[in-house]
Amino acid sequence: MNLQRMLEAIDANKARLDATRPLSPPALASLQQRLRLEWTPDANATEHHARSLREAQVVLDNLKIGDKSLRQHCETMGRPNAMRYIEEIIASNEPISTWQIRNIHNAVLKRRVGEEACRYRHVNVAIADARTTPPDFLDLPAELAALVEWHAGAGHMHPIERAAELHARFVRIHPFVDGNGRTGRLLLNIELMKSSYPPAVIRDEDRAAYCDSLDDACASNNYAGIARLIAESVLRSFDLYFDALGLAVDQGPSWAPR
């Protein structure tokens, strides 16, 4: 199935999931249990905000950074408030900013290089096996500002394509000494969840294809490949959601081999 048909399938699934929202406490409990099994290693504005926050908390609790959940990781790194910050970004649909990117990086960076948290790299780097070289460190403020400006004008894009391109553009910039991959994947999933889509979880067996798709996007400025890979992952997440919520998984024409 081509990307356009995959996006149509995703939107049909999202409409189906939206019809069940806000998720009831039993549904949230079932979803949390299912996510823990699947993702191990590896009315008014205020009311809407609270409901969105509850769902975001359940999903974020089960996203992994290494062998820990995102919440466990933040607590281990001595940043327990970081998780709340990420939840609030999603629930309030806060626009992306360079300040936000640096705070997300701070949430995932390991303590051993804590002095680098939130700071752009101050050296030039090369990425092994990549066809592109990240920009000069002196250009990083301008590059990140351009990324934010691009995103502000990308509201016309499908959320899946926008999230995939945001992810690839960030990875190409490689603004930090360490933690760029983790920060980029968290940016990707925050972007998806702000639009009420399930997160994209890259499986171990998809790691090579993921890296190749990212490299292609960075080298060619063609984001169709990485968008397709992210779309496939989101479709798998919809199946997981529907199974956890007791909704029949669509067994119609397959969008990809299962």
Residues of each annotated binding site: 178-185
Question: Distance between CA 90 and CA 195 in Å, rounded?
Answer: 8
How many residues are listed for the chain in this entry? 258
Which of these, 103, 123, 101, 94, lies nearest to 195 by C-alpha position?
94
Burial of residue 171 (number of CB atoms within 10 Å: 0-12, 13-18, 19+): buried
Which residues belong to the active site?
Answer: 174
Tell me the C-alpha distance between 155 and 149, whole Å: 11
Annotated binding site for ATP: 178-185
CA distances in angstroms from 92 to 78, 95, 196, 203, 252, listed in the order given: 24, 9, 12, 29, 35
- Residue 198 CA to residue 58 CA, distance in Å, equals 11
| 246: DSSP letter | T
Rounded to 10°, the helix 140-152/159-173 angle is 180
